[in-house]
Structure 1
Amino acid sequence: MLNKRKDFGIYTAIAAVLILVVIFAAMPNKNVKKSISIEAGGELPKANDFFSDSTIKGVEYVTDMSEINSSEPGIYDVKIKSGKKTYDVKLEIKDTIAPTAEIANVDLYESRIVDPQEFIESIKDVTNVKVAYKTEPDYNKTGTQEVSLVLEDTSGNKSEYQSILRISKVKEIIEVDISEGELDAEAFLKNQSDLDKASIVDTPFPVTLGVFPVKIRIGDVVYDSSVRVVDRIAPVGKAVNRKFWTVDKITAMDFVEEVVDATTVSARFTKEPDLTQVGDQNIQITLTDQGGNETIIEAVLTLEADTEPPKIYGVQDGTIYLDTPIAYKKGVYVVDNRDEELGVSVDSSRVNIKKEGSYKVIYSATDASGNTTNKEITLNVIKKPADTIDRAVVEELANGILEKIITEDMTLEEKALAIYKYINKNVYYLGGRHSDDLITEAYYALMKDPGDCYTYFAASDLMLNMVGIPNIRIERLSYEGETNHYWHMINCGDGWYHFDACIHLPEFFSFMLTDAEAEAYSRQKGKNAYYYRHDKEKYPATPAN
């Protein structure tokens, strides 16, 4: 009896399981999607894509999917199978993307009906596409007009494009090299039969590269066109060898002369030269015009190191009076073998103008190569002598003279000559000076009180400075037993020259003398060529002639 009950329990459990299997099999599977959709033209879905869990294996199509065209929108009945179970699902193919196209402009010689398809180069869409005008073009209009096109696929998706319809007997644009220098109507014509009736209207040839409007008359009609001016011809230039200092700023154009091109030409080093290499080196320069055409020329660059320090002129021991301001740089000039304009620095920290004494002043100048020169002078501060004439009094007297002999339109050299002539003829030589003070001595000179060469020198010093002529004071390099002599060097813009307004016997024109002329006169005057002898290390050399 116990065994029969046990068997009955087992059979009952098995039956319950079978009933549950049948019930679940009969119920719809919630893991299966009733339908899915794809974009037309895309890939067909995999069979397991219809399950919520697309990783399920063993799912396959029952329907022959090769018979479904993914580019044809619609709803398709599909059967899939998983294990022994088959499911009915739906595949929806949608077309939601508007067509795209590559558009071309249409350029006609004469008016005609244009099919909208002529504006289309290519269309991209999975379905058939119709092309239509949004607004019909005006075929009677000469020239250019905008055309609107509407593209519509079989699903009703639309897109709009803009194009250009041009009706003209001339080309829209031509290309001309700038070297041609003139426009030819023939080049603009679409049909050469129009040549006898064609002409350029009020259009000069452009002088630069670019696109420019042109009007062409054919018969009674004026048509619009354009010309693109280009440059196809490479520039021509002559290479020249050049010498520079290692510290110079050098450009490629420094090595180029006689450039020939219809456009502006720039120059660059094909390879940057070594600006630290003393001596010769071969270099290449690339010439480029506005059209991008290039020519390479070769030259030789010679570099020289600057090791010569600048020279400071006009720095001399001097004397000033107590409590008198000092213009330390007045009459001081720097000359360098390379640099044209160099400044001078002054260390006057030791000078006390409120106390009598002798003080050291240091002048220094440094060129672009780092070469430095220092000069030290002694400045004596003394009490002003009682018989000294005030500068204002002397300058007022000099102004009265300068107003008569100097005009505003004179050059510096003409002013210097006027001063030379006045002093030479109106100051008198007797021998002996009145004062060591230059201003006081100038007073006596202008008052025509006779003196010596220092008197002429003092008057010259005053007037040259008052009219702004750069000058340097010179004192004769005298040997034992020789007298002193004083004169100036002046620079009117073309170099330093000797200026001596003192009279000479026999008469000698000592204005703007070169070193050679001064030396020649000195040799005539006597032993040791003493007259204009000076320490040439302290003064600039004059031009050769």
Structure 2
Amino acid sequence: MRTKRTRSTRRSKVILGVAFILIAALIIRTSIDSISANTKPATTPTATPITSTAATPDTKADTEPPKIRGVKNLTVFIGDRVSYKTGVSVKDNHDTNVALVVDTGGVNLKKAGVYNITYMAKDAAGNVVQAEATVTVKVKPTSPLNEDELNKLADTVLAKIMTEDMTEVDKLWAIFKWTKYNIGYIDSSSHTDWRKGALQGFKQGTGDCFVFYATARTLMERSGFETQTVIRDKGRKTKHFWSLVKVEDAWYHFDTTPTIKKNTTFLLTDAELALFNKQFKNYYLFDKTKHPATPTKPLKERSKYLK
């Protein structure tokens, strides 16, 4: 009995050991399969090829400066507001929005004169362009000048004092007399515009030397004579105005302003003016380099009028 029980016990232990081994093997196999199912094989990364891009016109170096168009010289009156950029534009071969800068630092709109201004534009590449212009500031006229009215007034006078048989000297003498004796001298007028001075002479009949000069000039030029304006701007405290007139292909001084010597300022030579200056200090002192010289001898035909 004892032997049978011992054998039975040994057999049971063997069976249990085998069963344990089988169960352990099954567990291990299941674990390995699970790990294999959840693990992906590693992949070797591949390099992305780099392709080179050829330079396009947009990416090339920009060496061409912008172009400024529409720049011109300006003329304004004192106190006016100026729009310097009106009509001015900038164009660039690459950039679409290039700023325009105007340097007006030297301009004084409160004072008459000629001033320089500079237009400047710069593109993104640093290319710079400049354009120069001037601003002329003038004194604003107090009222518009009607030249047609001036010419009609002059022509009306000429129609009364001229005849067809007159010589050039005769015509000038008629103009000299009318101006000298139809305008009264007063020491007051504006010297800014000779046409306005002439209008004052015709319409008001009074004025200073500027009005006498301007009125006579208008009559002479409407009669076809060539004239030049002569100014005494040194030697005395005040200016004096008169004309040089071309008659018989020569120039002579013509001054209708009343003087102590009644008619002696009609078609004078430079030498005669010099004698006048000795009697009346520096009365006809002027810059001779700005005007043509007169003949050395007086015009013979004028002698009949200087009595």
- Relative to the length of structure 2, the TM-score reads 0.51
Quote the offset at 1:412 in angstroms: 2.2
CA distance in 1, matches of 2:251, 2:76: 27
CA distance in 2, matches of 1:516, 1:496: 13
CA distance in 1, matches of 2:135, 2:275: 35
1:475 to 2:227 alignment: no
The 8 Å contact of residues 416 and 469 in structure 1, kept in 2 or not, is answered as no
1:419 to 2:152 alignment: no
CA distance in 2, matches of 1:433, 1:358: 25
- Give the secondary structure class of the aligned counterpart of 1:409: coil
1:513 to 2:275 alignment: no
Gaps of 5+ in 1: 1-318, 323-355, 361-377
CA distance in 2, matches of 1:510, 1:379: 41
Quote the offset at 1:512 in angstroms: 0.7
CA distance in 2, matches of 1:433, 1:498: 22
Quote the offset at 1:458 in angstroms: 0.9
Q: Deviations over 1:104-141 (max 9, x none)?
A: xxxxxxxxxxxxxxxxxxxxxxxxxxxxxxxxxxxxxx
Percent identity between the two aligned chains: 32
Aligned equivalent of 2:193, options 437, 450, 453:
437
- Give the secondary structure class of the aligned counterpart of 2:288: coil
Matching residue of 1:536: 288
Classify 1:483/1:435 alpha carbon distance in 2 versus 1 (closer, same or farther; 3 Å): closer
Matching residue of 1:460: 216
Aligned equivalent of 2:153, options 397, 416, 424:
397
| Aligned length in residues | 173
Amino acid paired to 2:114: S
Q: Deviations over 1:329-380 (max 9, x none)?
A: xxxxxxxxxxxxxxxxxxxxxxxxxxx96389xxxxxxxxxxxxxxxxx995
- Relative to the length of structure 1, the TM-score reads 0.29
Amino acid paired to 1:418: A
Amino acid paired to 1:540: P
- Give the secondary structure class of the aligned counterpart of 1:416: helix
Amino acid paired to 1:511: F
Q: Deviations over 1:373-393 (max 9, x none)?
A: xxxxx9956365232431111
Quote the offset at 1:457 in angstroms: 0.8
The 8 Å contact of residues 243 and 253 in structure 2, kept in 1 or not, is answered as yes
Matching residue of 1:409: 165
The 8 Å contact of residues 321 and 381 in structure 1, kept in 2 or not, is answered as yes
The 8 Å contact of residues 478 and 484 in structure 1, kept in 2 or not, is answered as yes
Q: Higher strand fraction: Structure 1 or Structure 2?
A: 1
Amino acid paired to 1:539: H
CA distance in 1, matches of 2:217, 2:136: 20
- Give the secondary structure class of the aligned counterpart of 2:252: strand
Alignment of 1:122-141 (within 5 A): none
- Give the secondary structure class of the aligned counterpart of 1:458: helix
Classify 1:321/1:416 alpha carbon distance in 2 versus 1 (closer, same or farther; 3 Å): farther
The 8 Å contact of residues 388 and 440 in structure 1, kept in 2 or not, is answered as no
The 8 Å contact of residues 191 and 210 in structure 2, kept in 1 or not, is answered as no
The 8 Å contact of residues 389 and 443 in structure 1, kept in 2 or not, is answered as no
- Give the secondary structure class of the aligned counterpart of 1:537: helix
Aligned equivalent of 1:492, options 247, 250, 260:
247
The 8 Å contact of residues 182 and 205 in structure 2, kept in 1 or not, is answered as no
Segment drifting more, 434-443 vs 498-507: 434-443
1:525 to 2:303 alignment: no
CA distance in 2, matches of 1:420, 1:461: 10
Q: Higher helix fraction: Structure 1 or Structure 2?
A: 2
1:501 to 2:256 alignment: yes
- Give the secondary structure class of the aligned counterpart of 2:291: coil
- Give the secondary structure class of the aligned counterpart of 2:185: coil
The 8 Å contact of residues 426 and 448 in structure 1, kept in 2 or not, is answered as no
CA distance in 2, matches of 1:501, 1:445: 12
CA distance in 2, matches of 1:463, 1:444: 14
CA distance in 2, matches of 1:393, 1:467: 16
CA distance in 1, matches of 2:166, 2:114: 42
CA distance in 2, matches of 1:359, 1:403: 45
CA distance in 1, matches of 2:289, 2:185: 31
Quote the offset at 1:508 in angstroms: 3.9
CA distance in 2, matches of 1:320, 1:436: 16
Q: Name which structure has the greater RCO, CA cutoff 8 Å, separation 6+.
A: 2
Amino acid paired to 1:423: T
